[in-house]
Amino acid sequence: MDEAAPQKGTVTQRAIEEVKAMIAEGRLEPGQRLPTERELAVRLGISRSSMREAIRALTVLGVLEARHGSGIYVTALEAGDLLETFGVVADLSRGPRLVELLEVRRILESTATALAAARITDEQLAAVGEHLAAMNATDDPEEIIAHDLAFHREIASAAGNETMAAILDGLSSRTFRARVWRGYQEEGAFARTRREHTAIHRALTARDPEAARAAAAAHVGEVEEWLRAQLTG
Interface ranges with a copy of itself (CB under 8 A): 12, 16, 20, 23-24, 49, 52-54, 56-57, 59-61, 63, 77-79, 82-83, 85-86, 88-89, 91-94, 97, 100-101, 103-104, 107-108, 111, 161-164, 167, 175
d(CA 61, CA 55): 10
Q: How far apart are CA 80 and CA 70, in angstroms?
A: 23
Binding marks (x or -) toward DNA, 55..74, rule CB under 7 A? x----------xxxxxxx--
Q: Taking CB within 5 to 8 Å according to partner kind, which of DNA, a copy of itself, none is near residue 89?
A: a copy of itself
> Which of 22, 189 has the CB closer to DNA?
22
Distance of CA 52 to the CA centre of its chain: 26
d(CA 230, CA 227): 5
**Rounded distance between C-alpha atoms, residue 10 and residue 110, angstroms:** 43
Q: Residue 85, interface with DNA (CB under 7 A)? A: no
Interaction mask 2-31, DNA, x per CB under 7 A: --------xxx-------------------
Bridge partners (DSSP) of residue 64 are 74
Out of a copy of itself, DNA, none, which partner does residue 38 contact, by CB within 5 to 8 A per kind?
DNA
Q: What angle do CA 230, 219, 102 make, to 5 degrees?
A: 55
